[in-house]
Structure 1
Amino acid sequence: MQETATGNVFGLAHLWAQGDNVSHAIAILIVLMSVISWYLILAKSLDWWRLRKASKAVASFWAAKSVTEGIDQLRAAGEDSPYAQLANQANCCNCDCEAVSGRLVSQFDPSEQMERALRQQLATTQAGMESGLTFLATTAATAPFVGLFGTVWGIYHALIAIGMSGQAALEKIAGPVGEALIMTAAGLAVALPAVFAYNTFTRANRLILADLDAFAHDLHAFFTVGKPLLATSAQIHPLRARAAQGAA
C-alpha cells in the first residue's frame, strides 16, 4: 500500500520535475499568455466602463449654454473622454481655421478642415480602443496548439522513460500520460477566455465607435450649419459606413 501511494504521486510538481527545457519553456509560455490575456481583459473592461460612462454625458453637452460649458460637462465624466476630445477638436478647429493660412490645409474650406480634424481624432481613438485585441486573437488561436505541443512532447518523453524501464503496465503509463494531457487543458484554459473577450470587445468597440462617429457628425453639423442633426448610432458618417461595409 505504501509503495502504491508513493508511486501514484503525480501532478504539476511531478510534471515540472520530470520535464526538460522544452516542456519548461512551453509551460512558461502558456503562463505568460494567460497573465497578459487577463491583464488585457481587465484593462479593456475598465476602459469600456469608462467609455460607457462618458457616453452618458453627451446629453449634458447639448443641454449646456455654451460650447465651453458643454466640453466641461464631457470632461467631468472622464478627463480622457473621447467625446470631450472630439468636441474640443471641433471647437479648436472652428476658432483657428483662419490661423492656418499659407499651409496646405488652408486649401480646404472650413467645413472640410473640421471634417479632416474629426476624422483624424476618430482614427486615433479607434487605434487606442483596438490596442491589445491582436494579442487576444493570437492567444485564442495559438494557445490550444501550444498546449497540444506540450502534451505531445510530454507523452514522447513519458513513453521513452517507460520503454527504458521495461515496465509497460497500465498503472505505469496512465500517470505520465495524464500529466502530459495537463498541457492541453492549460492551453484550452488560456484560449477560451481570450476568444470570448476578443469577440465581446470587438462588438463593444463597434457600437462605441458608431456612437462616436454620430457625435462627430453632430459636431460638424453644429459648427458648420449652426444646429446639431442629433444623429443616432445608425446615422454614421458615409466614410465610416463604407469602411464598415468593407470590413464586413
Structure 2
Amino acid sequence: MLIDILAAAAKTAAPQNKFGFAEALQQGGFIAYATVTILGIMSFGSFYILFTKFFEQQKIMGQARDVRTNFWRANNLREGANKLDKNSAFRQLVDDGLAAEDQHGKMTDSMEAHDWLHGSLARSEASINARLAGGLPFLATVGATAPFIGLFGTVVGIYRALINIGIAGSASIDKVAGPVGEALIMTALGLLVAVPAVLAYNWLQSRNKRIAEHLSGFSTDVLANINSKGAVRPAVTTAAPARPAAPAAAKN
C-alpha cells in the first residue's frame, strides 16, 4: 500500500515533457504531418537514387577497366564485342558502330562513312549518358526545394506562436515553446534533407563526367578502328603485376 502511494506521488511530481518531437507534430496538426511526410519521401528517394546510381557507375567503371586490358587484344571488333557482357555500355558502342558500318553500305547517296559512323556513335554515347543521368534531376529538385518546404513549416509554427501570444495576452514560455519548437524542427528537417541531396548530386555528376570521358575515348578508338579496317587500335594496357612475397626470415 505504501509503495503504491509513493509511486503515485513520484509520478505526479515528475514533470511531463510537452515539447518533444511527437508533441510538436500533434500541435502542428495536418500541416506538420504533411510537411514531415513530404520531407521523408524526399529523403528516402534521395538515398535510393544515391545508392542505385553508385552501383550502376561502379559497374561501368569496372567495364572500362576490362576494356582497357582485354578488349583490344581481340583480332577484330566483333570478336572483342563477344567478350563483353551483353548489357555492357561499351558493347553497346561497338554493336552500334558495327551496325552503322553495315547500314552505310546499303545507302545510295554519297554521305561520307566517317560522318555517318561518328553520328551513330555519338547518338549511342548520348543514350548511355542520358541513362546514367536518370534520377539526378530528382536530387537537384530535392536540394533546391526541401529548405523551402521546411521553411513553410517554420512559418506556420511562428504564426501559431503569434496566435497563442495574442490569445494569452503575454509571451509566456508555455504558450510559445510548442509552436516555436515545431518551427525549428521543420527548419532542421528541411536542411537535413537538402544537404545530402546536393552533395549526392554533385558527387554523382562528377563520376558521370569521368564515365563520359571513358565512353568518348572508347568511341573514338572504335571509329578509328572501323575506318582503318582494323589497322588502327590503341595500345593495350596490362594489369599491374602482383608484388612478390616477402622472403621468410632466416632460421637461426
**Same-fold call, TM cutoff 0.5:** yes
Q: Does 1:34 align with 2:37?
A: no
Q: Does 1:137 align with 2:140?
A: yes
Distance, in Å, in 2 between the alignment partners of 1:30 and 1:228 is 54
Q: 2:7 matched to which residue of 1? A: none
Q: 2:31 matched to which residue of 1? A: 22
Percent identity reads 37
CA contact 1:151–1:183 (8 Å) conserved in 2: yes
Q: Does 1:74 align with 2:84?
A: yes
Considering Cα pairs closer than 8 Å and 6+ residues apart, tell me whether 1 or 2 has the greater RCO.
2
Distance, in Å, in 1 between the alignment partners of 2:201 and 2:180 is 32
- Count of matched residue pairs: 223
Gap change, CA 1:146 and 1:4, over 3 Å in 2: farther
For residues 145-179 of structure 1, the C-alpha deviation after alignment (integer angstroms, 9 at most, x for no partner) is: 21122112112113323442456323443343123
Q: 2:20 matched to which residue of 1? A: 11
For residues 27-73 of structure 1, the C-alpha deviation after alignment (integer angstroms, 9 at most, x for no partner) is: 22211211111111111111111111111121211012332231122
Gap change, CA 1:228 and 1:19, over 3 Å in 2: farther
- The structure whose Rg is larger is 2
Unaligned runs of 5+ residues in structure 2 are 1-9, 236-252
Q: 1:61 matched to which residue of 2? A: 71
CA contact 1:51–1:81 (8 Å) conserved in 2: yes
Unaligned runs of 5+ residues in structure 1 are 232-248
Equivalence map 1:88-107=2 (5 Å): 88-99=95-106, 101-102=107-108, 106-107=109-110
Q: 1:43 matched to which residue of 2? A: 52
Q: 1:237 matched to which residue of 2? A: none
Q: Does 1:223 align with 2:232?
A: no
Query: What secondary structure, in the 3-state scheme, does the structure 2 residue paired with 1:20 have?
Result: helix
Within the candidate set 72, 76, 93, 1:86 is matched to: 93
Distance, in Å, in 2 between the alignment partners of 1:128 and 1:107 is 33
Moved more, 125-134 or 19-28: 19-28
Q: 1:117 matched to which residue of 2? A: 120
TM-score between the two structures when normalised by the length of structure 1: 0.81
Q: Runs of 4 or more off by more than 6 Å in structure 1?
A: none
Moved more, 43-52 or 161-170: 161-170
Residue 4 (structure 1) shift:
6.6
Q: Does 1:203 align with 2:206?
A: yes
CA contact 1:57–1:73 (8 Å) conserved in 2: no
Distance, in Å, in 2 between the alignment partners of 1:87 and 1:47 is 20
CA contact 2:97–2:121 (8 Å) conserved in 1: yes
CA contact 1:219–1:228 (8 Å) conserved in 2: no
**CA RMSD of superposed structures (Å):** 2.2
CA contact 2:165–2:176 (8 Å) conserved in 1: yes
More helix by share: 1
Distance, in Å, in 1 between the alignment partners of 2:155 and 2:194 is 18
Q: 2:4 matched to which residue of 1? A: none
Q: 2:249 matched to which residue of 1? A: none
